[in-house]
Amino acid sequence: MKFETIIYRKTDQYAEIRFNRPHRLNAVIETFYHEMLKALADAEQDPDVRAVLLTGEGRAFCVGADMKEHGSGDRTLNQRREYLNLGNDVCEKIFRLQIPVVAAINGYALGAGAEMACCCDFVLMAESAKIGFPEISIGTCVGGGVTQFLPRLVGLAKARELIFTGIKIDGTEAARIGMATRAVSDDALQSEAEKFISLLAIKAPISMSMAKRLLNNASYQSLEDQIKLEIDSVFICSTTADWQEGVNAFAEKRSPQFNGC
């Protein structure tokens, strides 16, 4: 699949989506959102893809909306609404994707870039990378579900501070407060992200999908309902060939080879 604004490649059981507008620090436009939705759908539907890695080409992960296009004033009110819906659709797709999504933040992740990162299952950041929400500082507001996702990661008080002030924090601080899974040296980011996602890619796909859905929806459920959903998930897993493979591999003291069925 060829795209204008992203690079999409599959390797070793995972797909990498690399934002590819380095001349604009990977600022987003409508075409980017359309292509992201296509690439994410392709990854989810491909049985050989067990996880997705998001990262940026050049010096940034994504600096948010392309203000040059916004400043042109060419969009009608309906077009503005459609653009906003597209951004939210991408964030929701990342969050609800049946396979895990890992963000490798290599530079600035601002606005829409930070919002997409918050929707991922894991965030690895270069120590010098910066993440922040400048929306209120420029007269707009955060989107992409970040007002729900960010407090889950860092707590309500810290989420207020980050969103209200628009301060940018580096990878080390993001990891300290729980916004990032971990911070790594700038030079090691890509290799560490590939190692991390490879660990996810060898796990049982059905089990992974169910665990992701359970975790994502846990805050909406009562404990009683959540336990019932967990029991249902365990039961369904026990009917799969991958479950039997896991049992056999444990008994035979070898690594399991899961096929997603």
CATH of domain 6-201: 3.90.226.10
What whole-number percentage of the chain has pLDDT above 70? 98
Portions of the chain given CATH number 3.90.226.10:
6-201
Tell me if residue 192 is catalytic: no
pTM: 0.94
C-beta contacts of 2-11 below 8 A and 24+ residues apart: 3/35, 3/38, 3/39, 4/31, 4/35, 5/29, 5/31, 5/32, 5/35, 6/32, 6/35, 6/36, 6/39, 7/57, 8/39, 8/42, 10/43, 10/46, 10/48, 10/49
Q: Tell me the pLDDT tens digit for each residue of 131-149.
A: 999 999 999 999 999 999 9
Tell me if residue 135 is catalytic: yes
Topology annotation, domain 205-252: Lyase 2-enoyl-coa Hydratase; Chain  A, domain 2 (1.10.12)
Q: Tell me the pLDDT tens digit for each residue of 161-213.
A: 999 999 999 999 999 999 999 999 999 999 999 999 999 999 999 999 999 99
Residue 70, pLDDT above cutoff 80: no
Q: Which of 16, 57, 115, 224 is catalytic?
A: 115
Portions of the chain given CATH number 1.10.12:
205-252
Q: Which of 16, 35, 57, 135 is catalytic?
A: 135
